Amino acid sequence: MDDGSQATGVSQGSSSGEAAIADLKQGLHGFIRAHSADIKGRAAMRCCSSIGFVAFLAALLMEIASAAAHDETKYPDLRGQWTAIGGSVKYVPDKPRGLGQEAPLTPEYQAIFEANLRDMAEGGQGTDPTTWCLSPGMPRVTNGYGEMEFVITPETFHILVFHVLDSRRIFTDGRDFPTDVDPSFLGISIGRWIDTTGDGHYDVLEVETRNLKGPRAFDASGLPLHADNQTIVKERYTFDRNNPDVITNEVTVFDHALTRPWIVTKRYRRSPNPHPWWIEDNCMENNYHVRIQGEPYFLSADGMLMPTKKGQRPPDLRYFNQPQK
């Protein structure tokens, strides 16, 4: 599968504040060297006290260096609550769901998708794994479920969603993809901040996600990804300083169920409420869907097992006492 990989650089900016920090670091280093030489001839107790002071200065120096590495003014201000523009049910926000998404599926996976839609039309659950409260996985979580929160730290870009294991951790600390970590629904995401204008502020975050497992679908219609789970997802988050309340995310999916890379643009809007509330959405709490031997059933309001499709057989009860005829 051609993933279209290319190297991505992170712009390195400088400022007078950084220069001042560098001068302070150099001065502290000189002081530590001078102080260390001075204490060599002192008494043991006095020496220990001096060494403790030197250790304190060294810790302070590390803290200053860490603060310099994470200059919050370089990053976009993403505080607040965000929701998807166009909703989260469809993978392509501005197209009808189902066949209207016009996914570039191979003939094999087009047939799987259409069989899935027929099953749903008859009352089944098709190939949508979230019916059973499995994580939507990537790239489906880019649809934006419920309320989202974006949190930037020195090493990580967090996307927090309280739905069904949707929250993501995007590493921005320069690490590479691992070779010894088990696949997961959300995979492993590695990102790089970019300053495209050279003004000292990051306005783009490029992300690549690999190491995925299934089952996964693009959206609630059961639009399938390939069973080999070799999916690669690339994202390009754009933060426009002239329109700070909207984030654009261009998502490109490379998957063997597709005839070509599928590029879809998602957008997220910030709530104008400066003090929003975050609603808990626990999938298992009110989920009345039951799967037995791969067959979907439904629990009625009185707790009785019900069919989901006309003419559906009951599950095998061989391990239960059968009523006497």
Tokens in use for 181?
């970590």
pLDDT at 302: 86
| Segments in 39-99 forming alpha helices (H) | 44-69
pLDDT at 10: 38
> Are 125 and 180 in a shared domain?
yes
The residue that leads in pLDDT, 149 or 163, is 149
Domain boundary among 40, 69, 98: 69
pLDDT at 17: 46
Q: How confident is the model at residue 23 (pLDDT cuts 50, 70, 90)?
A: low
> Are 47 and 117 in a shared domain?
no
pLDDT at 6: 43
The residue that leads in pLDDT, 299 or 189, is 189
* Closest alpha carbon to 206 in 249, 244, 167: 249
Tokens in use for 48?
């220990």
Mean pLDDT along residues 118-134: 86
Structural domain includes residue 109: yes
Amino acid at residue number 219:
D
Element (H, E) at 193: strand 188-194
Q: How confident is the model at residue 5 (pLDDT cuts 50, 70, 90)?
A: very low
Instruction: Report the percent of the chain where pLDDT is more than 90.
Output: 54
Mean pLDDT along residues 265-273: 97
Structural domain includes residue 76: no
Overall domain count for the chain: 3
Residue 279, SS3 per DSSP? coil
> Are 91 and 50 in a shared domain?
no
> Are 111 and 155 in a shared domain?
yes
Mean pLDDT of the chain: 84
* Residues paired with 296 in a beta bridge: 291
> Are 262 and 143 in a shared domain?
yes
Instruction: Report the percent of the chain where pLDDT is more than 70.
Output: 78
> Are 63 and 105 in a shared domain?
no
SS3 content of the chain, % helix, strand, coil (to 5): 25, 25, 50
Q: Is the pLDDT of residue 190 over 50?
A: yes
Mean pLDDT along residues 232-246: 97
Q: Is the pLDDT of residue 94 over 80?
A: yes
Structural domain includes residue 124: yes
Structural domain includes residue 75: no
The residue that leads in pLDDT, 191 or 49, is 191
| Segments in 94-200 forming alpha helices (H) | 107-121
pLDDT at 265: 97
Instruction: State which residues form the domain around 310.
Output: 288-318
Q: What is the DSSP letter of 184?
A: B
Strands in 229-261 per DSSP E: 232-239, 246-254
pLDDT at 64: 53
Rounded CA-CA distance 220/147 in Å is 18
> Are 91 and 44 in a shared domain?
no
Phi, psi of 246 (to 5 degrees): -135, 130
* Closest alpha carbon to 135 in 186, 87, 190, 188: 186
Q: Is the pLDDT of residue 36 over 60?
A: no
> Are 210 and 99 in a shared domain?
yes
Q: Which of left, alpha, beta for 73 (phi over 0: left; psi -120 to 50: alpha)?
A: alpha
What's the distance, CA 251 to chain centroid? 12
Structural domain includes residue 280: no
> Are 91 and 122 in a shared domain?
yes
CA atoms within 13 A on the CB side of 15: 12
